[in-house]
Amino acid sequence: MDKKLTGKTYDIQGFSVHDGPGIRTTVFLKGCPLRCPWCHSPESQQFKTELNWMKIRCLGLDKCGKCLGVCPHGCVSEGPEDTDAAGAPIRYPKVDKTLCDECGKCAEACKAEALYMCGDDKSIDEVMYRLLRDKPFFDTSGGGVTVSGGECLSQPDFTFELLRRCKEAGISTAVDTTGFVKWEVIDRVLPYTDLFLYDLKCMDSKLHEQVIGVPNELILDNCRRIGESGGKLQIRIPTIPLFNDTVENMEKTGAFLNGFREAVELIQLLPYHTLGVSKYDRLLRNEKIFVAEPPSDAKMEKLRAVLALQGYIVIIH
């Protein structure tokens, strides 16, 4: 494998306790073929490095203003009068993303790091150096490394080599995936993956395509083939109001999994939340965002019981 192989990452998170068993370090890769309107990590969707702006960090143009005049395309200009978090008057910069080519000049000038670039090209060796620091935690907790996204299998060569190197170093591995990739990609990483954290969002393919942008046949087929090939699965169901939060959807999910039940170690229900909404503002995208009331504890328990009655181990997180 070429030692110059790089992956586009947007975060490496240590002490992750919800991305598989034990204490884990999760490597997040950019790029995803799905467009879930509730996505809590919109910075993961694009495959390219992107400019972000975190308003709360900005010092304002009067105190700083270093971002003005540095953009070669004139993307950054003076914005209107505003107020800061304390209610004091402030003038923020205005960024026109329609002119932006993500060159990063304004982010380099921003000493407060209000403007920053999301997406780093890292080599396998760089990532492994970071992961090996946490190996004592993996060894004592039964944890390991989870490769996530975005859709990490959309960077197949990097993900394969990272998993292979982890196994070579005696580190347990997990892949967090949407399953919307060619089977050949999954088959290649299967021998180096101890656990697949596998998203099943909706059993109705037409609704799946209408809301997320792709049908679910490939996703379901890949899930089944992992189970039939000896892989281990932790099924993750983001529970979204007005989309899949029904008894019928849970019943159909359980019936589908029954065909390879022995491969399903756990089903994890992930209640919808609004924590990712502010990230869309940081990306300076003019997009409609799905916002709803998060499901109640009673609603989540009712859905959990549907799957539990079918004999699955089900948790809510």
Q: Could you say which of 3.40.50.1100, 3.40.50.1220, 3.20.20.70, 3.40.50.720 is the CATH number of the domain covering 6-48+120-316?
A: 3.20.20.70
Classify domain 51-116 by CATH architecture. Answer: 2-Layer Sandwich (3.30)
Question: ∠ CA 285-291-296 to the nearest 5 degrees?
Answer: 150
Structure confidence at residue 1 (pLDDT): 46
Structure confidence at residue 268 (pLDDT): 98
Distance separating alpha carbons of residues 300 and 45, to the nearest angstrom: 27
Structure confidence at residue 230 (pLDDT): 98
One pLDDT digit (tens) per residue for the chain, 317 residues = 455 899 999 999 999 999 999 999 999 999 999 999 999 999 999 999 999 999 999 999 999 999 999 999 999 999 999 999 999 999 999 999 999 999 999 999 999 999 999 999 999 999 999 999 999 999 999 999 999 999 999 999 999 999 999 999 999 999 999 999 999 999 999 999 999 999 999 999 999 999 999 999 999 999 999 999 999 999 999 999 999 999 999 999 999 999 999 999 999 999 999 988 889 999 998 777 899 999 999 999 999 999 999 999 999 99
CA distances from 139 to 17, 23, 125, 148, 293 (A): 14, 9, 21, 21, 40
Structure confidence at residue 4 (pLDDT): 85
How many CA atoms does the CB half-sphere of 280 hold within 13 Å?
16
Read off the tokens for 100: 């932006």
Task: List CB contacts of 286: < 8 A, sequence separation 6 or more.
Answer: none
Structure confidence at residue 287 (pLDDT): 79
The H or E element spanning position 93 is: strand 89-95
Structure confidence at residue 2 (pLDDT): 53
Structure confidence at residue 3 (pLDDT): 57
Structure confidence at residue 76 (pLDDT): 97
Domain boundaries, the chain: 6-48+120-316, 51-116
